[in-house]
C-alpha cells in the first residue's frame, strides 16, 4: 500500500483486467491532468474516465478549473491507484484514449467526482456500464444538495445521455396555454399541465401524453431513470 500523500507524478498504476483481476505491470506514472476527466500516463497513453463528463477548460466553461482541481486532489489521496475497463463498453474512444474507471484503493474516482458535484453522468450513445446506477443516483443527490457545479452553474441540466454543458444562470421559461385554456409546463416537451397538481405516469398515460421528454426540471418526477424521457416504461 502506498503511504502518505504522494506527488501526482509518483502515483503507481497497476493494470486491471476486464474480469477485475489485477495484472501487475511496469511502474507507470501520471504525468498530466488535462481536465476533470482526462489524464496522461508516462507511457504517453491518455486515459478518459468512463461514464462521466466535466466542463471543458479550452472553452472556459463554468466549473472547468474546479473540476480539474478536484481530480488532482483525488489522485493524490493515499492509496494504490488502479485502472479498470468495463466489459460492456468500448475500451478506447475515437481519439485513441483508454476508457477506464480509476480507483484509489477501493475508491471509485469516477463515481467520487460525481458525488462531490465535480462531474456529471455521461452515458455515451446511451450505453450504461457497471456503475451507471450509482453514478446516476450520485448525480441526482449532488444536484439536489447543490454541490459543486450544480451550485456554481445552476442553469446546468442533468442529462445523462449528453455531454455536460454548464450554465451559470438559470434560464426561466414561460408556460404556454392551449386553445382550451390549459397551461403547459415549460419543463416538458408537449403540453404537460403545470404543477400543482402533481401528476404521475398513470395520469400522463390516461391523458395520452406518454412518453414525455424532460427539457427542464422534472417537477412531476416522471423520469425515474434520469434518461431524459419520462413515463416510457
pLDDT in tens, 27-60: 667 889 999 999 998 888 999 999 999 999 987 8
Would you give the DSSP letter of residue 125? G
Grid cell 496522461 — which residue?
40
Please determine, looking at this structure, whether the domain spanning 8-152 carries the CATH number 1.20.120.140: no
Confidence of residue 206 (pLDDT cuts 50, 70, 90): confident
Distances (CA, A) of 15 to 27, 28, 102, 103, 127: 10, 10, 10, 11, 24
- Parse the chain into domains and list their residue ranges: 8-152, 172-233
- Return the pLDDT at 228: 81
Q: Identify the residue with better confidence: 191 or 15.
A: 191
Which whole-number Å values give the CA distances from 128 to 17, 90, 121, 124, 222, in the listed order?
19, 11, 10, 8, 20
What is the tens place of the pLDDT at every residue in 72-81? Answer: 999 999 888 8
Q: CA-to-CA distance for 109 and 30, rounded, in angstroms?
A: 14
Rounded Cα distance, 93 and 105, in Å? 25
Residues in the chain: 233
pTM of the model: 0.66
Distance (Å, rounded) from C-alpha 46 to C-alpha 65? 19
Q: d(Cα 159, Cα 176) in Å, to the nearest integer?
A: 23
**Cα–chain-centroid distance for residue 217?**
17
Check residue 75 and give its pLDDT.
93
Structure confidence by residue, pLDDT tens digits, 124-179:
999 999 999 999 999 999 999 999 999 999 989 999 999 999 988 764 444 455 44
Report CA dihedral (201, 205, 211, 215) to the nearest 10 degrees. -60
Whole-angstrom distance, CA of residue 177 vs CA of residue 34 = 47
Q: Which three cell numbers stand for residue 52?
A: 462521466
Q: How far apart are CA 170 and CA 119, in angstroms?
A: 19
Amino acid at each position: 500500500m502506498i503511504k502518505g500523500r504522494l506527488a501526482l507524478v509518483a502515483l503507481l498504476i497497476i493494470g486491471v483486467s476486464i474480469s477485475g483481476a489485477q495484472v501487475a505491470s511496469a511502474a507507470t506514472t501520471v504525468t498530466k491532468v488535462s481536465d476533470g476527466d482526462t489524464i496522461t500516463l508516462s507511457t504517453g497513453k491518455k486515459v478518459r474516465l468512463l461514464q462521466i463528463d466535466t466542463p471543458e477548460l479550452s472553452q472556459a466553461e463554468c466549473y472547468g478549473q474546479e473540476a480539474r482541481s478536484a481530480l488532482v486532489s483525488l489522485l493524490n489521496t493515499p492509496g494504490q491507484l488502479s485502472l479498470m475497463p468495463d466489459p460492456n463498453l468500448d475500451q478506447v474512444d475515437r481519439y485513441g484514449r483508454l476508457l477506464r474507471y480509476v480507483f484509489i484503493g477501493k475508491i471509485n474516482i469516477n463515481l467520487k467526482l460525481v458525488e462531490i458535484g465535480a462531474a456529471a453522468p455521461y452515458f455515451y450513445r446511451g450505453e450504461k456500464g457497471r456503475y451507471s446506477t450509482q453514478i446516476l443516483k450520485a448525480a441526482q443527490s449532488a444536484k439536489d444538495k447543490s454541490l459543486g457545479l450544480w451550485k456554481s452553474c445552476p442553469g446546468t441540466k442533468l442529462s445523462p445521455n449528453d455531454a455536460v454543458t454548464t450554465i451559470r444562470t438559470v434560464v426561466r421559461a414561460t408556460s404556454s396555454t392551449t386553445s382550451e385554456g390549459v397551461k403547459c409546463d415549460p419543463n416538458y416537451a408537449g403540453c404537460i399541465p403545470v404543477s400543482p397538481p402533481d401528476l404521475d405516469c398513470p395520469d400522463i398515460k390516461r391523458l395520452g401524453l406518454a412518453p414525455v421528454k424532460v427539457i427542464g426540471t422534472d417537477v412531476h418526477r416522471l423520469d425515474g431513470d434520469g434518461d431524459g424521457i419520462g413515463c416510457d416504461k
